[in-house]
Chains A and B, each alone.
Chain A
Amino acid sequence: MLVVSFLSFTNTPLVVKSFTAVKGGLSIAIGPVLKAIGKPTEAVSGGFNGYINLVNTKKENNELKKQLDTTLIENQRLSELERENKRLKRILNFIEQKPGTMIAAKVTGEDLKNWFRCIIVDKGKESGVKVRMPVVTHRGIVGQAVEVNQWHSKVMVINDTNSSIDVNVEGKNTRGLLEGTGQNTLKLKYVVKNDEIEIGDKLATSGKDGIFPKGIPVGIVITVNKNKSGIFADIEVMPFNNFKQLDEVLIVKKQ
């Protein structure tokens, strides 16, 4: 088994195929189970957030506290509903711009290891998801589908260290390769020091990597260091999406 997993890791064709088949077969139920477990988990996270919000009310008397608790919980529920409504509206508007080209999916899980940036969404083969399909939100790019099962898919987020995207600086003739760092920010590589780029520039996909369509917003330049040695500048980019707070995403169907 140790040898089989090693050969699978090193991409030995026959072994990786059978290992993936066994893994896919065994994890087929993960999608529906994650979806089912999502409800109680949401309640737990809601309670956790609610607790943090209520810490400052401890000193108030019991009667007022009870009333405040009820009001706060109700308020929180309403504002959460309002936020969800706004979010879904924005997604709907985004889908309506290009009808029939996107699959809406809900984020049901995240990678178990913090070494990788990967999310699990509740749409798989049965919804028409395929490997390497781009995943976006109304704010911008999220990543690409890397593993598709019957009812769920794994999406590699752009801040994963294995991710790289070909991008353009909006309104300028500068192009580079955006790579994940495993942290919140991304690194823009292979931009020559003479190229036109400054803090605040917005980046969008160039469409030249064959995976992401052209013109999807990616992020904003936050640091540019041209004082280091070598011919390339050191550039940090903050993505438009907050990958830790993704609820719904859109999977772009390949034409």
Chain B
Amino acid sequence: MRVLVYIIIGLVCMLFESSLSSHISLDLFKPDFGIPLIIYVTFFMGPRAGFITTICLGFIQEGLSGAPTGSIMFVKISIFLITTFMKKQLYIDSKYSFAMTCGAAVLLESFLFLSLSLLARGETGNMYNILFYAIPNAIFTGFVSIFIYSLIEYLNASYLDRVR
């Protein structure tokens, strides 16, 4: 139930972002709504729920992006696996530490994508573009994850924990 709610939040945010960016130029301010949800679910609800969230949000992002088939899913699953292994090393106690983790994960995602393109296909054409947006994407996603964390915590306290 909770996972489904989080996936729906991700879906709505992504659709809204895609639709809004065709009206307003969001160029430098395109947050990744998938990463905060994947990290939150994997951290606080376990690997199984995290995996389901990763697959669903990965496919939604693949559907809304012109990236080569499989590339976004690959980096999302990698982020999920890294989060699973890092679970005991990282300590998320507030929305700010959550935001830092999400920002770092977005940076890592950019470098993973870059390495994947470079090693698997030998493509360097997009390298400058990915590096150019890596830091703004990380900062903005970190900023947005503060709100996502607060929203999820509010939903948990007000509705989802009561349902359970």
Interface residues of A (CB under 8 A from B): 1-2, 4-10, 16, 19-20, 22-23, 26-27, 30, 33-34, 37-38, 41-42, 44-45, 48, 107-120, 146-147, 154, 156, 160-162, 179, 181-183, 244, 246
Question: Looking at the complex, which one of A2, A41, A111, A161 makes contact with B125 (CB distance below 8 Å)?
Answer: A161
How far, in whole Å, are A143 and B25 apart by their CA atoms in the complex?
Answer: 18
Asked whether any CB of chain A lies closer than 8 Å to the CB of B77, the reply is yes
Interface residues of B (CB under 8 A from A): 14-28, 30, 32, 55, 58-74, 77-78, 81, 113, 116, 120-121, 125-126, 128-130, 132-133, 137
Identify the interface centre among A7, A120, A246: most chain B CB within 10 Å of its CB.
A120
How far, in whole Å, are A156 and B66 apart by their CA atoms in the complex?
Answer: 7
Contacts of A42 in B (CB 8 A): 23
Could you tell me the distance in whole angstroms from the C-beta of B2 to the nearest C-beta in chain A? 21
- Verify B129–A154 contact, CB threshold 8 A: no
Question: Looking at the complex, which one of B25, B28, B63 makes contact with A26 (CB distance below 8 Å)?
Answer: B63
How far, in whole Å, are A45 and B24 apart by their CA atoms in the complex?
Answer: 6
Contact A37/B71 with A118-B65, A182-B126, A246-B22 known, Cβ cut-off 8 Å: no
Q: Which 5 A-B pairs have the closest CB atoms?
A: A118-B66, A27-B63, A8-B70, A182-B129, A45-B23
- Verify B66–A146 contact, CB threshold 8 A: yes
How far, in whole Å, are A75 and B137 apart by their CA atoms in the complex?
Answer: 36
- Verify A117–B66 contact, CB threshold 8 A: yes
- Verify B63–A2 contact, CB threshold 8 A: no
Could you tell me the distance in whole angstroms from the C-beta of B144 to the nearest C-beta in chain A? 13
- Verify A37–B73 contact, CB threshold 8 A: no
Instruction: Give 6 CB contacts A-B under 8 Å.
Output: A6-B74, A23-B59, A41-B20, A109-B19, A111-B21, A114-B30
Other contacts beyond A37-B16, A111-B64: 11, CB < 8 A: A2-B74, A19-B69, A34-B19, A37-B15, A112-B61, A113-B61, A113-B67, A115-B130, A117-B66, A118-B66, A120-B22
- B interface: dominant SS: helix
Question: Looking at the complex, which one of A2, A41, A114, A118 makes contact with B16 (CB distance below 8 Å)?
Answer: A41
- Verify A23–B69 contact, CB threshold 8 A: yes
Contacts of A119 in B (CB 8 A): 22
Contact A22/B125 with A6-B70, A30-B64, A37-B15 known, Cβ cut-off 8 Å: no
Contact A1/B64 with A41-B20, A45-B23, A114-B30 known, Cβ cut-off 8 Å: no
Contacts of A182 in B (CB 8 A): 126, 128-129, 132
How far, in whole Å, are A140 and B121 apart by their CA atoms in the complex?
Answer: 32
How far, in whole Å, are A179 and B77 apart by their CA atoms in the complex?
Answer: 32
Contacts of A109 in B (CB 8 A): 15, 18-19, 21-22, 64
Contacts of B15 in A (CB 8 A): 30, 33-34, 37, 109
Question: Looking at the complex, which one of B61, B69, B113, B121 makes contact with A115 (CB distance below 8 Å)?
Answer: B113
Contact A41/B70 with A9-B116, A114-B133 known, Cβ cut-off 8 Å: no
- Verify B62–A23 contact, CB threshold 8 A: yes
- Verify A9–B28 contact, CB threshold 8 A: no
- Verify B70–A9 contact, CB threshold 8 A: yes
Contacts of A244 in B (CB 8 A): 25, 27
- Verify B133–A116 contact, CB threshold 8 A: no
How far, in whole Å, are A211 and B64 apart by their CA atoms in the complex?
Answer: 24
Question: Looking at the complex, which one of A34, A38, A107, A154 makes contact with B66 (CB distance below 8 Å)?
Answer: A154
